[in-house]
Amino acid sequence: MNYLYIIATIALTVFGQIAIKMQVLKAGALPAAGSDKLLFLFKLLLNPWIIAAFAAAFLASVTWMGAMSKFQLSHAYPFMALNFVIVLGLSAWLFNEPMSVTRLAGVALICLGTVVAAQG
């Protein structure tokens, strides 16, 4: 049951990354002019999905505090590497980002490292 804190932290973090990427893609390219850049970013900050992503980041911090009350940092923190694995997979699926052999090897190493580190 204590691992739910870690799972929630991962899920909230991944949600935030995916939500931000979706909204940035929807908004288009960052303008070249300085004042246009600020307006572009300010509009993004008012986007409900971006606000939800920031709220998720805050809630991820709260659930992480819960995890820290149940586990040693050296045990729990390796699980955060799963964020990379999940975001990479979702990026390939949702955004058609390339999934190379090198990236897959990296993901395999992250998974193996997470298992090894969590055992220690």
Q: Which domain holds residue 94?
A: 3-119
Q: Which runs of consecutive H residues, i.e. helices, occur in 1-120?
A: 3-27, 34-45, 48-70, 73-76, 82-95, 101-119
pTM of the model as a whole: 0.89
pLDDT value at residue 47: 97
Q: Which amino acid is at 47?
A: N
pLDDT lower than 50: segments of the chain = none
**What pLDDT score was predicted for residue 20?**
97
pLDDT at residue 119, as a whole number: 78
User: Total domain count for the chain?
Assistant: 1
